[in-house]
Amino acid sequence: MLSKGLKRKREEEQEKETLAVDTWWLDPSLPAVAQAPPPATSSSLFDLSVLKLHHSLRQSEPDLRHLVLVVNTLRRVQASMAPEPTLPPMPSPSAAPCVADSLLASSDAALSASMASLLEDLSHIEGLSQAPQPLVDEGLPGRPAGGSPPSLGALDLLGPATGCLLDDELEGLFEDIDTSMYDSELWAPASEALKPGPEDGPGKEEALELDEAELDYLLDVLVGTQALERPPGPGR
């Protein structure tokens, strides 16, 4: 095969098939088409492209040309895979159509989101010195923890370590976030427990599983203890 290239750990057969199919699948009138399954080839190309895209997005400063070409190729592959409703049954990947579909669906969303957020970041960074505030607002809580990297990524860039002029402002902001998360952890009912706080520990997890009655009891105990230590406040 081609020497010294980056090789995935796939079987030789699949690779050979991939190489061989480069030309035949272009022409659907060829008899060879009936033998090998086109979707498997397209999906391996799809996987490869998604892999490349993620690798590219993980770079601190991705090569824009490479990124754009991979994304366009991915779109082409997606477009060719989309109109496949049912596929010929295959031995092991009987779930292949479903896999392909779910891969398409989830990857598409994640893909668009990743691409969009990265490219948005690039454009935001460009206008960063002019408009820091809107950028900061987008990064505040309200987003699920899982999807945090893209827009918070830009915020990370403004972290104290980089010596940005907006240091003091941001330090204060981070403090606010910490406090609010800490507060919501203690006082929110167990059923509404959101993202885990920074001081995650076994105690916290247990607290989340308490029902309302137990929580009330705990609070009463706490209040009672505090009452022993100091005169009761007006609100309690």
Partner 1 sequence: MFLKFSLHSMFYGAGGGNDIQWCFSQVKGAVDDDVAEADIISTVEFNHSGELLATGDKGGRVVIFQQEQENKIQSHSRGEYNVYSTFQSHEPEFDYLKSLEIEEKINKIRWLPQKNAAQFLLSTNDKTIKLWKISERDKRPEGYNLKEEDGRYRDPTTVTTLRVPVFRPMDLMVEASPRRIFANAHTYHINSISINSDYETYLSADDLRINLWHLEITDRSFNIVDIKPANMEELTEVITAAEFHPNSCNTFVYSSSKGTIRLCDMRASALCDRHSKLFEEPEDPSNRSFFSEIISSISDVKFSHSGRYMMTRDYLSVKIWDLNMENRPVETYQVHEYLRSKLCSLYENDCIFDKFECCWNGSDSVVMTGSYNNFFRMFDRNTKRDITLEASRENNKPRTVLKPRKVCASGKRKKDEISVDSLDFNKKILHTAWHPKENIIAVATTNNLYIFQDKVN
Task: Copy the structure tokens of residue 90.
Answer: 């295959």
Site for partner 1 in 185-214 (CB under 8 A): none
Q: How many other C-beta atoms can be found within 10 angstroms of the C-beta atom of residue 156?
A: 12
Would you give the binding string for partner 1 spanning residues 132-171, x where CB under 8 A is met? Answer: ------------------------xx----xxx-------
Q: Is 119 in the site for partner 1 (CB under 8 A)?
A: yes
Residue with smaller CB distance to partner 1, 61 or 209: 61
Q: Considering only CA atoms, which of 87, 48, 89 is closest in space to residue 70? A: 48
Cα torsion for 169, 174, 175, 177, to the nearest 10°?
130
Task: Copy the structure tokens of residue 221.
Answer: 């105990």
To partner 1, the closest distance from the beta carbon of 194 in angstroms equals 29
Would you give the binding string for partner 1 spanning residues 4-43, x where CB under 8 A is met? Answer: xxxxx------x--xx-xxx--x-----------------
Site for partner 1 in 53-112 (CB under 8 A): 60-61, 63-66, 68-69, 71-73, 76-77, 80, 112
Count residues binding partner 1 (CB under 8 A).
Answer: 48
Q: How many other C-beta atoms can be found within 10 angstroms of the C-beta atom of residue 42?
A: 19
Residue with smaller CB distance to partner 1, 52 or 143: 52
Cα torsion for 85, 90, 94, 96, to the nearest 10°?
-60
Q: How many other C-beta atoms can be found within 10 angstroms of the C-beta atom of residue 224?
A: 10
Cβ-Cβ contacts under 8 Å for 198 (sequence gap 6 or more): 178, 181, 182
**Stretch touching partner 1 by CB under 8 A, among 120-128, 167-175, 193-201, 217-225:** 120-128
Residue with smaller CB distance to partner 1, 150 or 185: 150
d(CA 78, CA 110): 14
Q: What is the CA radius of gyration of the chain?
A: 26
Binding site for partner 1 (CB under 8 A): 1-8, 15, 18-19, 21-23, 26, 45, 48, 52, 60-61, 63-66, 68-69, 71-73, 76-77, 80, 112, 115-116, 119-120, 122-123, 125-126, 128-129, 156-157, 162-164
